């Protein structure tokens, strides 16, 4: 049974059957009723692949993320809600910062397997954005140097500068930050180093900042080693609330008191920072997720929108 059979049995055109099946307008009540009765009588169900071929739409939005990390929770939750309201599905695409995997996802966009692709953090390898965007629609949640790429991103550079300038103004000298990737791999790490060095001088890996720390477990292990050596920085800026929670737990187990012996600031404004009462930076992930979906499913072809980051003192 196919739509030709439905059209013949209802004595209507193929286009009329298609409009009824896809719940479109411009069909009289009489013809709509005839088609619906035939569909009900025959038990016909529409072929999803056929619909995709006929409309040129997959009904899917891809979200490219490095890996499953809580720092993307607000963004992903926002995308899921926004797409559900618009009748779309979401496919999460973890890259683990592998260039080959990223390229594979780009090829999926070119093959129209997604109706749009949301990019978060990515590897720094060069890519022909103009060629890719000619094949499919995408938007980055990270500020890129190539201004031809649609971007909806948080003003992270301003947030980093604000934090380090405030610490400098308070004459706090022993400031440390942790991050996932080294400066040669990450624009985010580069920007944090630049902001740090404006106020505190040269940033040395292993002294002023530490890499390969990005979740509760790695934060806890790193902090436990420091505590065993009796090395407790006055102020620690972490790359996520879960990382901060791990560091806080290790230091407290060693007998150090938060906001007395050391202070923490995380990222993400999650339940961790609220429950454990440490400061954090809110990068407007919920607003960015909604805005990215709206852009991808609109007729708009270009966007460059900077969202404000908020420092939340606790």
Assign residue 252 the CATH number of its domain.
3.40.50.2300
Asked if residue 111 is part of any domain, the answer here is yes
Asked if residue 313 is part of any domain, the answer here is no
Query: What is residue 108's three-state secondary structure?
Result: helix
Average predicted confidence (pLDDT) for the chain:
92
Number of C-beta neighbours around residue 166 at 10 A: 13
Question: Residue 287, CB half-sphere, CA atoms under 13 Å: how many?
Answer: 14
Provide the pLDDT for residue 53.
Answer: 47
Q: Examine the fold and report which residue of 54, 74, 95 is the final residue of a domain before the chain moves on.
A: 54
Q: Give every CB contact of residue 208 below 8 A, 6+ residues apart in sequence.
A: 175, 176, 177, 196, 200, 202
Residue 209: phi, psi to the nearest 5? -145, 155
Per DSSP, helices labelled H in the chain are 3-10, 14-21, 29-42, 48-55, 73-85, 99-110, 129-135, 156-169, 187-200, 216-229, 241-253, 271-276, 285-296
The answer on 270 and 188 residing in a single domain is yes
**CB contact at 8 A, 208 and 237:** no
The answer on 240 and 131 residing in a single domain is no
Domain that holds residue 257: 156-282
Asked if residue 269 is part of any domain, the answer here is yes
What is the C-alpha to C-alpha distance for residues 218 and 223, in angstroms, rounded to an integer?
9
The answer on 25 and 88 residing in a single domain is no
* Each residue's pLDDT tens digit, 50-89: 555 455 678 999 999 999 888 899 999 999 999 998 889 9
pTM of the model: 0.80
The answer on 91 and 16 residing in a single domain is no
The answer on 101 and 202 residing in a single domain is no
Asked if residue 314 is part of any domain, the answer here is no
The answer on 269 and 173 residing in a single domain is yes
Asked if residue 97 is part of any domain, the answer here is yes
The answer on 277 and 181 residing in a single domain is yes
Asked if residue 255 is part of any domain, the answer here is yes
The answer on 114 and 95 residing in a single domain is yes
How does pLDDT run along the chain (314 residues), one tens digit per residue?
777 888 889 999 877 887 888 777 788 989 999 989 988 888 877 665 555 545 567 899 999 999 988 889 999 999 999 999 888 999 999 999 999 999 999 999 999 999 999 999 988 888 899 999 999 999 999 998 888 999 999 999 999 999 999 999 999 999 999 999 999 999 999 999 999 999 999 999 999 999 999 999 999 999 999 999 998 999 999 999 999 999 999 999 999 999 999 999 999 999 999 999 999 999 999 999 999 999 999 999 999 999 999 999 99
Report the candidate in 104, 105, 74 with the shortest Cα–Cα distance to residue 91: 105
The answer on 95 and 25 residing in a single domain is no
The answer on 277 and 161 residing in a single domain is yes
- CATH number for the domain that contains residue 18: 1.10.260.40
Asked if residue 198 is part of any domain, the answer here is yes
The answer on 175 and 112 residing in a single domain is no
Asked if residue 211 is part of any domain, the answer here is yes
Classify each residue of 232-258 as buried b or exposed e, where b means 16 or more C-beta atoms within 10 Å of its C-beta. bbebbbbbbbbbbbbbbbbbeeeebee
Provide the pLDDT for residue 124.
Answer: 83
The answer on 164 and 186 residing in a single domain is yes
Question: Residue 10, CB half-sphere, CA atoms under 13 Å: how many?
Answer: 27
Count up the domains in the chain and report the number.
3
Number of C-beta neighbours around residue 157 at 10 A: 17
């Amino acid at each position: 049974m196919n739509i030709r059979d439905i059209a013949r049995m209802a004595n209507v055109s193929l286009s009329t059957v298609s409009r009824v099946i896809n719940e479109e307008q411009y069909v009289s009540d009489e013809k709509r009723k005839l088609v619906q009765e035939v569909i009900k009588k025959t038990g016909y169900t529409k072929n999803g692949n056929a619909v995709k071929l006929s409309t040129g739409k997959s009904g899917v939005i891809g979200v490219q993320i490095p890996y499953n990390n809580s720092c993307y929770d607000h963004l992903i939750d926002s995308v899921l809600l926004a797409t559900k309201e618009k009748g779309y599905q979401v496919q999460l695409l973890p890259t683990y910062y592998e260039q080959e995997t990223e390229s594979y996802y780009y090829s999926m966009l070119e093959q129209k397997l997604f109706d749009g692709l949301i990019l978060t953090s990515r590897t720094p390898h060069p890519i022909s954005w103009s060629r890719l965007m000619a094949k499919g629609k995408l938007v980055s949640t990270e500020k890129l140097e190539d201004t031809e790429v649609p971007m909806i991103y948080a003003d992270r550079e301003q947030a980093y500068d604000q934090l380090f300038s405030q610490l400098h103004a308070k004459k706090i000298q022993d400031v440390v930050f942790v991050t996932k990737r080294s400066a040669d791999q990450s624009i985010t790490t580069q920007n944090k180093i630049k902001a740090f060095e404006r106020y505190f001088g040269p940033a040395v890996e292993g002294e002023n900042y530490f890499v390969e720390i990005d979740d509760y477990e790695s934060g806890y292990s790193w902090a436990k080693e420091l505590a065993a050596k009796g090395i407790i920085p006055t102020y620690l800026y972490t790359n996520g609330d879960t990382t901060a929670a791990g560091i806080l737990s290790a230091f407290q187990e060693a007998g150090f008191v938060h906001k007395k012996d050391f202070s923490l600031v995380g990222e993400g404004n999650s339940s961790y920072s609220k429950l454990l009462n440490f400061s954090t930076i809110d990068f407007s992930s919920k607003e960015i997720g909604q805005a990215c979906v709206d852009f991808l499913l609109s007729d708009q072809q270009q966007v460059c929108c900077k969202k404000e980051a908020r420092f939340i003192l606790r």
